[in-house]
């Protein structure tokens, strides 16, 4: 099966269309609530008193964790509908702004102790300007904390679906999402692990941590049929990376 030619819909427009449904499913999903979010919390460590930018904050689950850990947080996202949900959840005191990660960030240089970017870079074909902006707004020695889709998992998933794809090319992947009666198409940009690391180094970051953890014991217990005793690269859904500015 060849990759189809598709009209790329912006991630912001896609999430506006499914904001309520996505949030409802996300709150109890294996990959988000029991895999990505716990791993992000573990990576954050001690952030009391830190000023943190959550870049691609969605409906705000990671902001809730950061606030609980004593950080001050600004959240940005391209989807106004997702931010409306975040405001309802987090209250009026949290600074939430509509912003495009592909555009210059609306902050001064050296503003943040940490930038968190959880499962958001994969919507961008080109990472370089975005990473340069993240480094610009970080204080010297500040951290960029990332989760990204595991490149082996995305490649294996397409291969198992019969899609002919070159692992070493940056390539688009469009999926139809249906959530609680809402439907949209999302386009992701997959790339190799070496391409990811080259982008981080080219932006001037220093890699301090890379982890591909298995899902938490709680995840395996709650979703036994999904794992069925297996934890191979297909189930290493995400990479967790810490970079220093």
Q: Give me the percent of the chain exceeding a pLDDT of 90.
A: 67
Phi, psi of 47 (to 5 degrees): -125, 15
The verdict on residue 39 lying in a domain is yes
Give the H or E element holding residue 147. strand 138-149
Mean per-residue pLDDT, 206-231: 81
Task: Sort strands 51-55 and 112-118 into parallel, antiparallel or unpaired.
Answer: parallel
The verdict on residue 212 lying in a domain is yes
The verdict on residue 55 lying in a domain is yes
- The predicted-structure confidence for 43-68, as pLDDT tens digits, reads as follows 999 999 999 999 999 999 999 999 99
The verdict on residue 153 lying in a domain is yes
Token pair 């895999």: residue: 35
The domain that contains 88 carries what CATH number?
A: 3.40.50.150
The verdict on residue 93 lying in a domain is yes
Domain span at 29: 11-244
Tally of structural domains, the chain:
1
Q: Which residue has the higher pLDDT, 108 or 160?
A: 108
Per DSSP, the three-state class of 125 is coil
Q: CA end-to-end span of the chain, whole Å?
A: 42
Token pair 């794809």: residue: 165
């Amino acid at each position: 099966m060849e990759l189809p030619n598709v009209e790329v819909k912006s991630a912001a427009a896609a999430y506006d269309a499914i904001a309520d449904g996505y949030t409802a499913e996300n709150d109890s999903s294996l990959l988000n609530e029991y895999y990505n979010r716990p791993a992000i919390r573990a990576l954050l460590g001690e952030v009391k008193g830190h000023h943190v930018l959550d870049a691609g904050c969605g409906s705000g689950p990671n902001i809730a964790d950061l606030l609980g850990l004593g950080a001050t947080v600004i959240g940005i996202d391209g989807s106004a509908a997702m931010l409306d949900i975040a405001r309802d959840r987090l209250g009026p005191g949290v600074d939430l702004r509509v912003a495009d990660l592909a555009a210059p960030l609306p902050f001064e240089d050296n503003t943040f102790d940490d930038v968190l970017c959880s499962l958001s870079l994969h919507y961008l074909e080109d990472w370089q300007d975005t990473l340069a902006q993240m480094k610009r707004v970080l204080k010297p020695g500040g951290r960029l904390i990332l989760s990204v889709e595991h490149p082996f998992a995305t490649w294996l998933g397409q291969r198992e679906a019969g899609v002919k794809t070159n692992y070493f090319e940056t390539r688009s992947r469009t999926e139809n999402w249906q959530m609680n009666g809402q439907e949209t198409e999302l386009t992701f940009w997959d790339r190799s692990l070496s391409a990811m690391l080259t982008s981080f180094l080219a932006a001037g970051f220093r890699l301090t941590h890379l982890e591909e953890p298995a899902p938490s014991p709680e995840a395996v217990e709650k979703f036994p049929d999904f794992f069925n005793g297996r934890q191979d690269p297909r189930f290493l859904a995400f990479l967790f990376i810490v970079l220093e500015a």
